[in-house]
Amino acid sequence: MVKKIIAIAFLLFCISFPVAAENQSGALNLSPMLGSQVFEGNQALDSSTFWGVNLGYNFTENWGIEGVFTSTNADAKDDSTADTKVKTYRLDCLYHFMPTKKLVPYFALGFGAIDSNPDEGSSRSHLLFNYGVGVKYFILDNLIALRADVRHLLDFPEPYNNLQYSAGLTFQLGRPKQPVKTDKVQ
């Protein structure tokens, strides 16, 4: 009950502020995420919940780069494989559409690695290519955004096709301060 009251109070607090949202140039972004990873059928792994963290930097309002880490424990579908810990490490380039709006859609493209460590058998690390789309919805004056993301993960050289979809928060930190306008007296 207390958690619900705190969550409602926080939501009302966020909504009560005027929003002048935008994806800002020079800002650092920290995004804790939760989601689901859907594995290709021949991998014999059940879809599983993952957690992740994204750390990014906006070069401009439109262009940014992001380091991403995700981790999940996938259950085996049958006896052909074992329960497996799967971790991804990615470096993604993001292009933000409508960066000065409250709702900021984006396209992402990147590469990295995927590590699979089954409870039984040998571990493997492979090259990972990914692309996807997402949206950020700023709820607190350029500082905090709700975020949703869908990614297609291509694991090489197999290649396996996986899907990740996630939601979380984006905290926009280290924004450059806007110069204060002063009237010059002559």
- 27-75 residue pLDDT tens: 999 999 999 999 987 787 888 999 999 999 999 999 999 999 999 998 8
Average pLDDT (74-92) is: 88
7-36 pLDDT, tens digit each: 554 554 444 344 445 788 889 999 999 999
Using 50, 70 and 90 to split pLDDT, how confident is the model at 181? low
For the chain, how far is it from start to end, CA to CA, in angstroms? 62
Secondary structure (3-state) at 56: strand
- Architecture of the domain defined by 21-173: Beta Barrel (2.40)
Share of the chain above pLDDT 90, in %: 56
For position 94, what pLDDT does the model report?
Answer: 98
Instruction: Give me the residue spans of the domains in the chain.
Output: 21-173
For position 174, what pLDDT does the model report?
Answer: 77
Residue entry with tokens 């993952």: 50
Task: Please indicate whether residue 4 or residue 13 has the higher confidence score (pLDDT).
Answer: 4
Distance CA 79, CA 58 (A): 46
Task: Please indicate whether residue 42 or residue 123 has the higher confidence score (pLDDT).
Answer: 123
Alpha-carbon distance values, 75 to 55, 60, 71, 81 (Å) = 28, 41, 13, 9
Share of the chain above pLDDT 70, in %: 82
Q: Which residues contact 75 (CB under 8 A, 6 or more apart)?
A: 45, 46, 48, 83
